[in-house]
């Protein structure tokens, strides 16, 4: 194989790696723990485009970020997390929402 072809293959491989790196999901932040009025505890990890909500049974839900006038809003259509500061509201389907609060000492989102 000639030097020109080897160089072209190396450049193509490097370009492919850069493209794939650009497709990676934004990193998640450390978890924020919310205690809810109904006894539920949510462990939420935020990224710039989504929130991953871990439920007590081990289920992890990925909620895409929604445009919010202020505060946070993440929703999959079935599950929704909205809030501002240390308070949030968790909604599942058509059930009555429950108010949740960041545990003391945990960083607010």
pLDDT at 71: 95
The pLDDT score that the predictor gives to residue 24 is 76
> Bigger pLDDT: 29 or 8?
29
Evaluate if residue 7 carries a pLDDT over 90: no
Residue 72 neighbours by CB under 8 Å, 6+ apart: 46, 51, 65, 81, 82, 83, 84, 88, 109
101 — pLDDT class (breaks 50, 70, 90): very high
Residue 33: band (very low, low, confident or very high) from pLDDT cuts 50, 70, 90: very high
Give me the chain's average pLDDT, please.
84
Cα 14 from Cα 6, distance rounded (Å)? 12
Q: Region 96-106: what's the mean pLDDT?
A: 88
Assign a CATH topology to domain 32-102: Lipocalin (2.40.128)
- Residue 95 has a pLDDT of 96
């Amino acid at each position: 194989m000639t030097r020109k072809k080897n160089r072209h293959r190396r450049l193509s491989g490097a370009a492919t790696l850069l493209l794939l790196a650009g497709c990676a999901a934004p990193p998640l932040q450390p978890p924020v723990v919310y205690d809810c009025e109904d006894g539920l505890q949510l462990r939420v990890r935020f990224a710039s485009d989504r929130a991953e909500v871990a439920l007590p049974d081990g289920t992890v839900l990925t909620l895409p970020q929604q445009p919010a006038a202020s505060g946070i809003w993440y929703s999959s259509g079935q599950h929704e997390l909205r809030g501002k500061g240390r308070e949030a509201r968790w909604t599942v389907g058509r059930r009555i929402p429950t108010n949740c609060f960041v545990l003391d000492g945990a960083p607010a989102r």
